[in-house]
Amino acid sequence: MFLDHLILHLEAGHGGAGASSFRREKFAEHGGPDGGDGGEGGSITIRANKALNTLNPFRNCKIFCAGRGGNGAGGLCSGTDGASITLEVPLGTVIKDAESGEELAELLAHGQTLVVARGGRGGMGNNNFKSSTNRAPRHAQPGEEGEVRDVALELKLIADVGLAGLPNAGKSTLVSRISAARPKIANYPFTTLEPQLGVVTVDEVESFVIADIPGLIEGAASGAGLGIQFLRHVERTRMLLHLVDLSDPMVEPEEAVRVIEGELKAFSPTLAAKPCWLVGTKLDALQDPDRRTRFEALCRARGQEPLFISGVTGEGIRPLVFKIGKALLEYRNA
């Protein structure tokens, strides 16, 4: 199962205690203080890794504790630093404080890091407190406690184009035809249970990333069906393709458009404002020509050229890819 949000419990290491010690040798009976410092507690860092695309590695392990710093010792021996931990997450991960909801960072670049729990500072040994007026200090500092916090991780896939539509609208078929991605395809709703990314080649230079998002139903923004857990993945896309199944006699094109646009608007006004093209699918299975006519009228009423494709025959797919590539190039230049 695709895991895209979770809460981790993180405990950074405590700093080691400084030592209170005095030099005692055969010919230095009254030697000075030689207590060493405690080691630093280990920290916990989150780093973005482009090789990952889910949060599944954290499914069975959500508690992480960094190493404690070692205590100082006599002879000016400092304690060892505690072992730090680096947790790797996919690009597009949003990190929030689980208690306050404050957004701490959004990791978008490979190698970008955030220290989410800092280790405690090691305490100073009594050697640090000697002075001309206090030649035999017995005071040494205890180590500081490391940070303990819960953080929420939320993954938003990074893609240029997001696919939206009712279940079984042909989204997975389109992705499989234009990219090397191989999402599961079958003739029943909710075949796709997790988002799929595919790289689409426009020509020798241009390409774009497309995201196949599981089908939405009415009430998705409130959690119905696969719901809200997948709507977040189209928030960061540059544009949307709204696929409408023209062959389904049970759902009129106007109703399909109303449902999806309503859910996008309910989830996020920003998402609803993104450029969105209507694309009629399953042209090869279309039985009622009137459905095509009404879909064309719907597109023109929105000031959009009607677009039609068939995943079975391939009709209209390459022209659609070129049209998307041209639009994305204009967005990037702008």
What confidence tens digit (pLDDT) does each residue in 41-87 have?
Answer: 999 999 999 877 678 789 889 999 999 999 999 989 999 999 999 99
Does residue 206 share a domain with residue 271? yes
Averaged confidence pLDDT in the chain: 83
Position 233 scores a pLDDT of: 65
- Say if CB 253 and CB 280 are below 8 A apart: yes
The pLDDT value given to residue 50: 82
Q: How far is CA 272 from the centre of its chain?
A: 21
* CA angle 305–248–169, rounded 5-degree value: 65
pTM of the shown model: 0.63
Domain boundary among 104, 136, 155: 155
Same domain (yes/no): 237, 328: yes
Yes or no: say if 75 and 36 are a contact pair by the CB < 8 Å rule.
yes
pLDDT tens for each residue of 170-202: 888 888 888 765 544 434 333 344 566 777 888
Do 117 and 215 reside in the same domain of the chain?
no
Q: What letter would DSSP give residue 108?
A: -
Domains in the chain: how many in total? 2
Pick the more confident residue, 2 or 6.
6
Specify the pLDDT at position 253.
87
Query: What is the sign, positive or negative, of the torsion defined by CA atoms of 268, 161, 166, 189?
Result: negative
What one-letter code names the amino acid at 195? P
The β-bridge relationship of strands 207-212 and 161-164 is parallel
Name the more confident of 53 and 263: 263
- One domain for residues 120 and 189: no
Indicate whether 5 and 136 sit together in one domain: yes
- Range(s) of the domain holding residue 138: 1-155
Q: Is 16 helix (H, G, I), strand (E, B) or coil?
A: coil
pLDDT band at 238 (very low <50, low <70, confident <90, very high): confident
More confident residue, 311 or 42: 42
**Distance (Å, whole) CA 49 – CA 257:** 37
